[in-house]
Amino acid sequence: MLELEVNPERSLGCEGCEFKLGMPFSQAVFILQRNCRTITCVEVIYVENDPLSADLTLRLPNDGIRLIFDSFAQRLKTIEVYDLSKVKLKYSGVLFCSTDCIPTRELIYSTFGATRPPEYDCAQQAFVLIFRGVSFCFPGIVNKTSQEQLASRPAGRATSIASKMFMYNGSSLAESRTLDLPWYCFNRGTYLTSLDVVRDNGKTVGIQVHLLFESVENSPTQASKIQSDARTICFGSTVQDVLSLLGAPSRVFYKAEDKMKIHAPPDQHARKSSDRSDYFYNYFTLGLDILFDAVSQRAKKFVLHTNYPGHYDFNIYYRCFFKIPLVRANHQDSLPESSSLLDQNEPMVITSSSKWGPIHSYVLGPDARPIVLNRSSSVNATNPFGATYCYGYQDMIFEVMPNGHIASVSLYEMTD
């Protein structure tokens, strides 16, 4: 049984297994993988057809815990202990929930201090005892609507024992918000706030990356150690340029083969297999890959990842919050008159949350057909998520999931 320390508005955990509010989804998964002998069952819960419509949840059924992540930011916003009989809980070193220590209302008052009387939650049919950053639910039903009864003491021993605990940032669960990435989750990494694709005359020139990172200078407070900056990388940037701007990559991946070689000009087909291969710099925390040419050692392609659940690469990358401005294509008849996606004279801006349907009509028209990408053998034996669909437009390739969300965008250098 897990024995966890409750730190309201911050974290729930113990040494080596601490879930922190505001932490990215990937960090939580890493903690669960590292503690796989203790936490033996994990379920990932999301809405397959519309993953942004509901929270992304990690459920630990053997431990009675739910880790609830904002579906867009993919950061931990709420921790729910829905079965208090499966964990031991402490606050300031004092045990208040275990098999030998029942979490009664009196014990919680004694442990956490005084607060206002419980409020009745009709949806949960429970009284909710609210502290800043943490609240407890006590089962009970009220028959009157008077304010006095809502503030009354739940009757009976069964209704005086807590059934659930919620942890969040704010004065109450209803007023809680998703934290920006807190300083204690940086772990000396570099993270992305947004990425702007720089385009000129219908061509991609490069990318401007807005970063958050820890300062190497001494600071009076931990929070002031976090700095932000914007870095621009263009096609043709050298390896040294990229390293000086973004730092070392999470991984270097060498291309063993080029499956798109058949689409290349004839003079490139003659390259021998013994020639040096192109290679990627994978920046997992930025949701970004940069492909370098093996001969020139210069950047020639960028890949932006959205990290949607249900995709083959889910949880390898953090979400890349990109913005891609596109000029209007010549498909005016196919765009609905009622479309509010953009003004007639304004460029379209594609983001990581954009759905492909309106973009398809806007840039390609209704007759464009995709290339099917299986990412596995011909029988699709190793990819449980199924195929995705790739659409090319100008110097970009959009990989689209069956639910209409964009899985990745590849930007490559166009040569005259």
Residue-wise pLDDT for 202-223, tens only, equals: 899 999 999 999 887 655 566 5
Sign of CA dihedral 108, 114, 120, 123: negative
> What pLDDT does residue 339 have?
47
| Least confident interval from 9-13, 212-216, 345-349, 353-357 | 345-349
> What pLDDT does residue 150 have?
46
**Is the pLDDT higher at 309 or at 145?**
309
Confidence band for 365, pLDDT divided at 50, 70 and 90: confident
* Amino acid sitting at position 338: S
pTM over 0.85: yes
CB proximity list for 332: less than 8 A, separation 6 or greater: none
Query: CB–CB of 120/114 below 8 Å?
Result: no
Task: Supply angle C-alpha 415, 281, 297, rounded to 5.
Answer: 50
Average pLDDT taken over every residue of the chain: 87
CA distances from 309 to 47, 77, 185 (A): 9, 18, 22
The CATH number corresponding to 2-167 among 3.40.50, 3.30.930, 1.10.10, 2.60.460 equals 2.60.460
> What pLDDT does residue 268 have?
56
CA distances from 15 to 87, 217, 328 (A): 15, 28, 54
Confidence band for 294, pLDDT divided at 50, 70 and 90: very high
Domain residue ranges in the chain? 2-167, 186-412
> What pLDDT does residue 116 have?
86
| Least confident interval from 87-91, 110-114, 122-126, 332-336 | 332-336
* d(C-alpha 230, C-alpha 210), whole Å: 4
Confidence band for 299, pLDDT divided at 50, 70 and 90: very high
Query: CB–CB of 56/314 below 8 Å?
Result: no
* d(C-alpha 116, C-alpha 147), whole Å: 13
- Going by C-alpha positions, the residue among 233, 265, 235 that lies closest to residue 247 is 233
And the tokens for 207?
A: 């990318």
Confidence band for 276, pLDDT divided at 50, 70 and 90: confident
- Going by C-alpha positions, the residue among 324, 365, 292 that lies closest to residue 202 is 324
Strands of 94-97's sheet, edge to edge?
17-20, 11-14, 2-7, 87-91, 94-97
> In the chain, what percentage of residues exceed pLDDT 70?
83
| Least confident interval from 20-34, 252-266, 268-282 | 252-266
And the tokens for 55?
A: 């929270």
> What pLDDT does residue 415 have?
75
Q: Strand 190-200 to strand 322-326: parallel, antiparallel, or no bridges (unpaired)?
A: parallel
Does residue 154 have a pLDDT over 60? Answer: no
Q: Reduce the DSSP state of residue 46 to 3 states and report it.
A: coil
* d(C-alpha 268, C-alpha 246), whole Å: 31
CA distances from 89 to 12, 111, 405 (A): 9, 11, 40
> What pLDDT does residue 147 have?
43
> What pLDDT does residue 160 have?
85
Does residue 192 have a pLDDT over 80? Answer: yes
Q: Reduce the DSSP state of residue 368 to 3 states and report it.
A: coil
* Amino acid sitting at position 188: R
Which residue stretches of 190-329 are H helix? Answer: 239-246
> What pLDDT does residue 219 have?
59
CA distances from 320 to 113, 191, 231, 390, 405 (A): 42, 10, 15, 18, 14
Q: Look at phi and psi of residue 218 and say left if phi exceeds 0, alpha if psi is from -120 to 50, else beta.
A: beta
> What pLDDT does residue 307 have?
98
Mean pLDDT of the 107-133 span: 90
* d(C-alpha 364, C-alpha 327), whole Å: 12
